[in-house]
Amino acid sequence: MLSKLLRIGRSQLHTIVSREIIKPSSPTPSRNRTYNLSLFDQISPNGLTPFIAFYPNLDQSSLDKTLELKNSLSKTLTHYYPFAGRLKKTRPTYIDCSDEGVEFIEATNDSSLSDFLQRSTHEDLDPLFAKDMWFDPHIRGDTEGVTCPLVIQVNRFACGGVAVASTLSHKVGDGRTELNFINHWATVTAKKDTSLINPHIISHQTKDYGYLSELLSARSRVGCVTKSFLFTKQKLNDIKAKVIAMTRESGQPIVNPTRVEALSWLIHNRAMEAANKKISGAFKAIAMAFPMDMRNHLAEKLPETSVGNLYFALESPTTNQSKLAPHITIGEMRENKAAFQGIQNLETALEMYDKMAPEIILEATKRIDASHIYSGLYWFPAYDIDFG
């Protein structure tokens, strides 16, 4: 009777079926027991990197496929041993690679996958994840203790469709790290060749960058509202044409704006307009931040399968109305990118941050009220994840 009442009161019923811990299939060598977090790991947000992949009805039985996923996850974790360890909740500087395992959750949804996707709003995605996909207070560091870096939740729909959701602590790795892991796990599940996707785990020196972490986390958000907007190919071409025309009139033409550049300019322009409608007098200064993947943008490229937070946030502060002009916005984006590509290697990038005094960083944060982050995922390995 209770189940029936719940179904009447809600358009769908999402139920957690089981929880268990999946450990690596072979023990981590003692020499790898401690994985030191780099500067970029430590100053990364106290949140999660969420990812979810949807699949239509599977041919195999639900039980068999679940067992395959668990077994292949166990095998994959031997290559990503930090994910099966534990890290402190407050200012972690390392991961104890103790092979304690990752949490694996199974859940069911009483609607079909097609119905769910057609009716879904982005808030409906929350139950598909083991934790709040945008902010997890347990990783924030409010209390002492340790936490599991990775949680997997496999969601099954009434039609047999599946949604595989992953949440990785941002202290452990960035979006590229997580997608590399999921692709590796999927390849193992599908029994394909994994020789080309083995992870590259970088050894870091031990150092506590807590002062930087605290300064930068003061600007972090603790929540998020998710919305989506669809731009057709024609609309994107129209926006690019507008950028070309406006920059030509300015005398500083940009003849070949990319889709990411044009759309980032448009969204930032509208966001700034909305933010400054709420205040009178002073201009609300908001920076544009662009995470750059260091794996393939440094002069000395890193392996694409490198594990960790290997991004560098390029910021362009918008301090007055004139800086919203596309030739300035996109021009600064390109200048920052070109300067970033002049950085020789990862060690040089680390030294640049390491040498910055706390008072300099604090003063920089005072010049702007907030940062809007713009990122393009087109080049990320997110569209060919094949679990077989």
Query: Could you give the percent of the chain with pLDDT greater than 90?
Result: 47
pLDDT tens for 196-205 read 788 999 988 8
Reported as a pLDDT band with limits 50, 70 and 90, residue 238 is: very high
Average pLDDT over residues 48-55: 89
Highest mean pLDDT among 58-62, 241-245, 355-359 belongs to 241-245
Half-sphere exposure of 248 (CA within 13 A, CB side): 9
Q: Give domain status of residue 225, yes or no.
A: no
Three-class DSSP labels, the chain: CHHHHHHHHCCCCEEEEEEEEECCCCCCCHHHCEEECCHHHHCCCCCEEEEEEEECCCCCCHHHHHHHHHHHHHHHHCCCHHHHCEEECCCCCEEECCCCCEEEEEEEECCCHHHHHHHCCHHHHHHHCCCCCCCCHHHHCCCCCEECCEEEEEEEECCCCEEEEEEEECCCCCHHHHHHHHHHHHHHHCCCCCCCCCCEECCCCCCCCHHHHHHHHCCCCCCCCCCCCCCCHHHHHHHHHHHHHHHHHHCCCCCCCCHHHHHHHHHHHHHHHHHHHCCCCCCCCEEEEEEEECCCCCCCCCCCCEECCCEEEEEEEECCHHHHCHHHHHHHHHHHHHHHCCCCCHHHHHHHHHCCCHHHHHHHHHCCCEEEECCCCCCCCCCCCCCC
**What CATH number does residue 322 fall under?**
3.30.559.10
Q: Residues 55-61: contacts with CB within 8 Å, 24+ apart?
A: 55/161, 55/162, 55/163, 55/164, 55/387, 56/113, 56/159, 56/161, 57/113, 57/159, 57/160, 57/161, 58/160, 58/161, 58/162
Q: Give domain status of residue 219, yes or no.
A: no
Q: Give domain status of residue 204, yes or no.
A: yes
pLDDT tens for 141-165 read 333 456 899 999 999 999 889 999 9
Q: Give domain status of residue 382, yes or no.
A: no
The pLDDT of residue 136:
43
Q: Give domain status of residue 361, yes or no.
A: yes
- Is 10 found in the same domain as 93? yes
Average pLDDT over residues 82-86: 96
User: Over the chain, what is the mean pLDDT?
Assistant: 84
More confident residue, 60 or 2: 60
More confident residue, 34 or 319: 34
- Is 237 found in the same domain as 185? no
- Is 242 found in the same domain as 200? no
User: Is a pLDDT exceeding 60 seen at residue 301?
Assistant: yes
The pLDDT of residue 228:
78
- Is 190 found in the same domain as 63? yes
- Is 290 found in the same domain as 181? no
Q: Give domain status of residue 226, yes or no.
A: no
- Is 248 found in the same domain as 198? no
Average pLDDT over residues 47-71: 80
Q: Give domain status of residue 209, yes or no.
A: yes
- Is 107 found in the same domain as 77? yes
Specify the number of domains making up the chain.
2
Last residue of a domain, one of 213, 247, 268: 213
Average pLDDT over residues 108-134: 80
Task: Give the whole-angstrom CA distance, residue 126 versus residue 133.
Answer: 7
- Among the residue ranges 92-96, 173-177, 244-248, 279-283, the one predicted with the least confidence is 279-283
The pLDDT of residue 216:
65
- Is 172 found in the same domain as 284? no
Domain carrying residue 57: 2-213
User: Is a pLDDT exceeding 90 seen at residue 54?
Assistant: yes
Specify the pTM.
Answer: 0.86
Q: Give domain status of residue 363, yes or no.
A: yes
Average pLDDT over residues 125-148: 59
The pLDDT of residue 363:
65
Task: Give the whole-angstrom CA distance, residue 81 versus residue 32.
Answer: 8
The pLDDT of residue 9:
39
Last residue of a domain, one of 213, 248, 268: 213
